[in-house]
Amino acid sequence: MKTYSKALVCGLGDSGEAAAELLLREGSEVLLIDRGDTPALREKACALEAKGARVLLGAADVPAGDFDVCIASPGLALQSPWLSDVSRRGTEVLAEMELGWSRRRGRAIAVTGSNGKSSVVKWLAESLQQAGLRALPVGNYGLPVARAVMEHPELDWMVVEVSSFQLETVREFRPEVGVLLNVHPNHLDRHGGMDGYQAMKARLFERASGTDRCIVFQPLLDDVRRRSGGKGQWIGFGTTDDCDYVYRDGRVWKDGRSLACLDGSYFGNDILGLAAAAVVAAAEGCGIPISAVEKAAQQFQPLPHRMQKVRELGGVVFVNDSKATNLAAMAAALKMTKGPVRLIAGGLVKEKDFSFVKELLAQKVSGVYLIGKASDEMASAWSDVAACYKCGALDSALQKAWNDAVRGETILLSPACASFDQFRNFEERGDRFIKVVEKLNDRIA
């Protein structure tokens, strides 16, 4: 395990705070900097200073000095002024995730992809727990890896949700099981386009070797193996017979044999069934009985803001899918929704091509109620296949959709966009949707 005498931590979010505490425990001299200077940050800063850290809030530049390592916030790109400065000094830049992983005692599963990561991480962790193992979902899921190794050193497995941002700075990260669920246009401004984004996802497998499992959606498998150069056991999953693990008709199959039955569970459908194939492949790599996966699936409680049924009122169902921040996620939500849909979409757009969802909109949608900065683009792209209404704010969109809805329809918030033009994050957007829905009065005969 590599230790550091002087460490710079950039960003006082949850991951930065956890990294600083871990480094302080190990005797490192820690300087933590953040551009912000809010009451909440000051409270965090005081707690860290009491433990021996130096904290500089409202920082414009990286202070002078030599550091052995820089732990970077996932929100900081390598090309950002701070990290460019640090790199010019010859300082190693590391993600908090890798710092924590390098201190683990147990083993790790890492899950990445554009959509569905959190649900898969939760399901895998609960499957391991059903098998009697000590496991937790960590990383981008919520609990920083550095905090997990401090507070739960006894873990047999950590199931790590990994973003493309975190993969930018990995150096030694090598999970025993790696899973790439899918790749759809996302964070293209950060990674310089789709090719750069796909290359970043492939980094998960760069150091794989021996018995390490590299589990990849079959259509991506050859490209990811070529990009990464990983030497582990490559395994494809999907819905076609050329896959090692196949989802079909509510079951996961391998070599023509049914391994797992998901009928009646959250994952027993053609949209989430792909995730089931990946989870079963990962579970076999962990050596746990598939019955533990099946039991965890039957007991699975969906995460908030992911196809979350909020209410049924006057025969109209309200569904909060605020986590859908790209078009592929929105398309999946539409496919999973029964009956006609009143769709609320918009925000900060991440993609340029809106055309691939047009056929689905024509089939499923009674009206599109647009919010945020993407309203004009989306209306222009979709108005020939669906009635589009530019509503501005979420409250207005929801009220109009409710006024227009008829019995048997679903009002679905699935924005296909980031939320930062109107909200702090997708959680705040979803919470606002829920709050307004709960105040509605029945008015449909």
pLDDT of 190 reads: 75
- The pLDDT assigned to 192 comes to 78
Enter the pTM of the model. 0.94
In tens, the pLDDT along 61-110 reads: 999 999 999 999 998 998 999 999 999 999 999 999 999 999 999 999 99
Q: Of the CATH numbers 3.30.360.10, 3.40.1190.10, 3.40.190.290, 3.40.470.10, which one belongs to the domain with range 104-299?
A: 3.40.1190.10
Do 104-299 and 308-439 come out as alike in CATH topology? no
What φ, ψ does residue 102 adopt, rounded to 5°? -65, -15
**What's the pLDDT at 445?**
42
Output the six-digit token pair for 443: 């008015």
CB atoms inside a 10 Å sphere around CB 296: 24
What CA–CA distance (Å, rounded) separates 334 from 326?
A: 13
Torsion of the alpha carbons at 91, 92, 95 and 97, rounded to the nearest 10: -130
Tell which CATH architecture fits domain 308-439. Answer: Alpha-Beta Complex (3.90)
Each domain of the chain, given as residue ranges in start order, spans: 6-96, 104-299, 308-439
Return the C-alpha torsion angle 201, 203, 204, 208, nearest 10.
Answer: 150
Give yes or no for a contact between 275 and 120, defined as CB atoms under 8 angstroms apart.
yes
**269-278 per-position pLDDT tens digit:** 989 999 999 9
Residue 206 neighbours by CB under 8 Å, 6+ apart: 170, 228, 229, 230
The string of pLDDT tens digits covering residues 207-232 is 999 999 999 999 999 999 999 999 99
What would the DSSP string read from start to end of 36-60? ---HHHHHHHHHHHHTT-EEEES-S
What superfamily would CATH give domain 6-96?
NAD(P)-binding Rossmann-like Domain (3.40.50.720)
Q: Are strands 251-254 and 245-248 parallel, antiparallel or unpaired?
A: antiparallel
pLDDT along the chain (445 residues), means of 10: 96 98 98 97 98 98 96 92 96 97 98 97 99 98 98 98 95 98 82 89 98 98 98 98 97 98 95 96 98 98 96 97 97 96 97 94 98 98 98 98 98 98 97 98 64
The beta strand positions in 288-404, using DSSP E, are: 308-313, 316-320, 341-346, 365-371, 388-392
Q: Who's near 28: CB < 8 A, 6+ residues apart? A: 3, 4, 5, 6, 7
